[in-house]
Amino acid sequence: MAVLQTPTRDGGSAEDAIVRRTEEISTLPAVAIRVMQIANDPDSGAGDLTQAMESDTALSARVLRYVNSSACGLRQKITNLQQAIAYLGMKQIRNLAVTASVSELFAAQTRIGTYDRPGLWRHLVAVGVCARMLAKRKKYPNFEDMFLAGLLHDIGIVIEDQQIHDSFRKMILSLRTDMTLCANERNALGFDHTTLGFRLAEIWGFPEGVKAAIRHHHVSCNYHGPEVRIVRCVEVANLVCSIKDITSVGANLVKFSQPAFNSLSLSKQDLAVLLEDLEAELQANANLFHV
C-alpha cells in the first residue's frame, strides 16, 4: 500500500494516475454519461435523449421493461422511448437509464471481507431512493436530481475497487472501525473516494448537484454552493441508510452528523419516522435494484 502514498514516476500523485487510467479506459458506460449530459442541457429535448438511448438497444429494452412494470403503475403499455419520456419526463427516464447502465459495473459478485459489490449497489440505490423521499417531504422541486446524486455519490468506491483492486482489497481487509471510511482510505491509499469521485465526475461532465454530492456527502456543512439542498439530502440519506445497516462496505463507518439533520430541520422523531418509512419506500422501488 505504501506505493500508493508516493508520487508516480511522472511526478503526479497516485490519485492522478488512477484518474488518467480511468479516463483512458472509460470505466463508466458512455451512454450513461451522454444521457446525463443531455438531460442537464436546457437546449436538449426528448428527441436527443431518445437518440442517445436508442444507440444501446439492450439499455432501451431494460428501461422500457421497467417503465411497463408494476413499479411505475402506468395504465397502458409504453412501446417506445418517446412515449416513456412523455409519460415520466426526461429526468425520471434519465435516472432509469443511468441506473440500468451503471448497474452493469456490479455484475461480478466480488466479495472482500465485509464488502461485496451487490451490497454497494444496494447502498447506492437505497441512498438515491432515500434522498428523493427526503426531497419530496421537504417539498423540494428537483427530487429526481436528488435520486441521481444519491445513486452516484459513492462512485469513487467503485473506481477504487476496479482500478486498484489489490490495494483496495488490502484496505478493506484491514478496516479500522474506529475510523471513518475516508480516514481509512487516506491512511491506506493516500486519498479517499470523495476526492477521486469528484475529479472523475468533473471529467465526465456530471451535473453540478451530483458533483457536489460526491465531494461533500460526508461534510455538507462545508458546501455553500447553489446545490446545497441536494448535498444535504444525500448526506442525510447516507446517514439514514447506514443506520439501517445498508452500508457501502458492509460496515457502518459513517460518522453521525447532527448538523446535517439540523440543516434540513429534522428532529429525532423525524429520524425515527424516516427509518421506519424507508423500508416501505425501498420495497416500492425494489425493481430498481435489478433494473
**183-204 pLDDT per residue, tens:** 999 999 999 999 999 999 999 9
User: In 3D, which of 96, 33, 42, 29 has the Cα closest to residue 67?
Assistant: 96
Question: What is the rounded distance in angstroms from the CA atom of residue 73 to the CA atom of residue 250?
Answer: 33
* Cβ neighbours for 54, distance < 8 A, ≥ 6 positions apart: 60, 81
What is the percentage of the chain residues whose pLDDT exceeds 70?
A: 95
Q: Which domains does the chain have, with CATH numbers?
A: 14-290 (1.10.3210.10)
Question: What is the rounded distance in angstroms from the CA atom of residue 283 to the CA atom of residue 255?
Answer: 26
Question: What is the rounded distance in angstroms from the CA atom of residue 51 to the CA atom of residue 38?
Answer: 10
Kindly report, residue by residue over 240-285, the tens digit of the pLDDT.
999 999 999 999 999 999 999 999 999 999 999 999 999 999 998 9
What is the band of 73 on the pLDDT scale with cuts at 50, 70, 90? confident
pLDDT score recorded for residue 2 = 34
HEC-encoded secondary structure of 217-277: CCCHHHCCCCCHHHHHHHHHHHHHHHHCCCCCCCCCCCCCCHHHHHHCCCCHHHHHHHHHH
What is the band of 25 on the pLDDT scale with cuts at 50, 70, 90? low
Using the predicted structure, report yes or no on whether residue 71 has a pLDDT greater than 80. no
- In the numeric block, the cell 456543512 is attached to 221
* Contact of 126 with 282, CB cutoff 8 Å: yes
HEC-encoded secondary structure of 6-73: CCCCCCCCHHHHHHHHHHHHCCCCHHHHHHHHHHCCCCCCHHHHHHHHHCCHHHHHHHHHHHCCCCCC
Backbone phi, psi, residue 111, to 5°? -130, 130
Using the predicted structure, report yes or no on whether residue 53 has a pLDDT greater than 50. yes
